[in-house]
Every structure is written in C-alpha cells, then in structure tokens.
Amino acid sequence: MMQDVEQLRRSTKAQAIGLVVAVVVCYGAALLGNLATMPQIPTWYAGIAKPPWTPPDWLFGPVWSLLYAMMAVAAWLIWRQSDWKTAKSPLLWFAAQLILNSLWSILFFGMQKPAWSMVEVFFLWLAILMTVRAFWPVSRVAAGLLIPYLLWVSFASVLNVAIWQLNR
C-alpha cells in the first residue's frame, strides 16, 4: 500500500514537472517572438497601413497568452498520455510549429518583411494542421486545444496578406 502511494506521488510529481516544462517551452517561444515584436509595435507597425478590421494592439497579448497556455496543455497531454514511440511524431510536429511560430514574428516584425512572413505563415498553418492531425489519435482533447490556435493563425494569415498588399 505504501509503495503504491509513493509510486503515485512520484507519478504526480513527474506530471507536474512535465506540465511546467511544456509551459516554459511554449512561453519561451512566445518570449522569442516578443523580443522581435514589441520594439516594432510603437514604431514600424504603428506607421504601416492596416485594414480597418485589424484588431486593436491590446488584444494580441491576451489572445496569444491564452493560445500559448492551451498549446502547453495540449503538448503536455500528448506527453503524459503516451509512450515515447507514440508521442515522438506528434511532439516533433509540435516543435516544428512552435519554431515556425517564433520565426513568423522575427520575419514580420523583426525584419519588417510582410511578404516573407506571408510565405512563412503558410508553412506555419500547415505545421499546426499536421500537429492537430498527429495529436488526434493520441488525445482528442489535446487536438481540440489547438483548434483556436489554428483559427487565429488563419485570421493572422489573412491579415498578413492584407498588410502586405496595403504596403507594397
């Protein structure tokens, strides 16, 4: 009985550590993107033409914060609900989309290249879709947690195209 309790405690501790790692990785990617984004908001981004349906600047922070939290929980669910053989491919897709997510901010804001980021966001969108597809057989909840992210990136893609067109 005592051995079972100890095993459960270790398991719970391992689960908590796994969740913390997932959160740190996701918000680390967010931080990388923010380093490229934040200096450009009051300067370059404020001065470019944007469509009238562009959300207000203050909305992006809360939306992205929520999406990164959902992404972290989704990755954690995949990690905790499967062995490495099953989790490897879904988590590699997850890592790929996370890298592409940060790269978009670097291209669009950091390098001020809406055309380049427009091409890159297509690959980001595909990587998110592939991540959802890879998560689905392991955890439908995890896959579902990524749907708002996919929808937001779909909207961001259209916004990226509109900004590129208005500023050619």
| pTM summary value | 0.91
Taking residues 84-106, report their average pLDDT.
96
Residue 1 has what pLDDT?
61
What does the pLDDT look like over 15-62, one tens digit per residue? 899 999 999 999 999 999 999 999 999 999 999 999 999 999 999 999
Q: Which residues contact 26 (CB under 8 A, 6 or more apart)?
A: 68, 69, 71, 72, 75, 98
2-166: CATH topology is Ferritin (1.20.1260)
DSSP string covering the chain, please?
Answer: -HHHHHHHHHHHHHHHHHHHHHHHHHHHHHHHHHHHHGGGIIIIIHHS---TTPPPHHHHHHHHHHHHHHHHHHHHHHHHTS-HHHHHHHHHHHHHHHHHHHHHHIIIIIS--HHHHHHHHHHHHHHHHHHHHHHTTT-HHHHHHTHHHHHHHHHHHHHHHHHHHHT-
Residue 52 has what pLDDT?
98
